[in-house]
Amino acid sequence: MKALLCKQISVKYESKLALEECSFEIDTGNFLGVFGKNGSGKSTLLKSIAGIIKPNSGTFDFYGIKKNEIGYMAQQTPVQKDFPASIYEVVISGTLCKHKRFFFYNKNDKKLADKNLELLGIEQLKHKSFQELSGGQKQRVLLARMLCTEAKLLLLDEPASGLDTAAAEQLLSTLKDINSQGVTIIMVSHDIQNAVNFCDKILHLGKAHFFGSREEYNARTA
């Protein structure tokens, strides 16, 4: 089943063209890796899909995915030095988007938060303050929070940023497990060599955009 159709998306910042005529199509349960040089428009594309910025031209067509079922994690999230929330509070707050008229957590919310803390390997940190964590640990916390929204489409901008090689591969493996449960993932990464093995579709942005299967991409770059 089709999940997203991107048709001729172009984005300008003032007079500068950040992304030009990008097109691709993915199905539900696809894992799309977005690669390209700095400045090629990778982050711009994710922000456009998330609705944070509006394309100057082109359209996105979503199939069976509502706006509140899209999870977006930016490459870096600035946090105030006096940010008081614990890891657990940050993670479980992801469930609030499902509550339309009340703002307290039920048993299912707590179970979901505990499940995602364990899934991301940060359950032992749950009582620590978010501000005390390393960059890589913060990425895991924010991903766990996103999973608590139970989004159907995850947009991840450099989720392995700040992690060493072993931790990055473990995180990518976790993402693949999440993807295998039917969650569609679009992930930006600069680490093509490692990330490409976890993707089934590849979008490489550049002077001539490439979109195709992992096998087609590997054959093209061999």
pLDDT per position as a tens digit, 40-70: 999 999 999 999 999 999 999 999 999 889 9
Per-residue pLDDT band at 134 (split at 50, 70, 90): confident
Per-residue pLDDT band at 101 (split at 50, 70, 90): low
Predicted pLDDT at 80: 44
The secondary structure of residue 30, as a DSSP letter, is: -
pLDDT per position as a tens digit, 156-196: 999 887 778 887 888 888 899 999 989 999 999 988 888 99
Angle at 42 between CA 39 and CA 44, to 5 degrees: 90
Predicted pLDDT at 168: 84
Report the chain's C-alpha Rg in angstroms.
18
- In CATH, the architecture of 1-65+152-168+182-222 is 3-Layer(aba) Sandwich (3.40)
Domain ranges of the chain: 1-65+152-168+182-222, 80-151
Look up tokens 């509550």; give the residue.
99
Predicted pLDDT at 131: 83
Mean per-residue pLDDT over the chain, rounded: 89
Is the pLDDT score of 204 beyond 80? yes
Tell me what percent of the chain is helix, strand and coil, each rounded to the nearest 5: 40, 25, 35
Calculate the CA 34 to chain-centre distance: 11
Predicted pLDDT at 71: 92
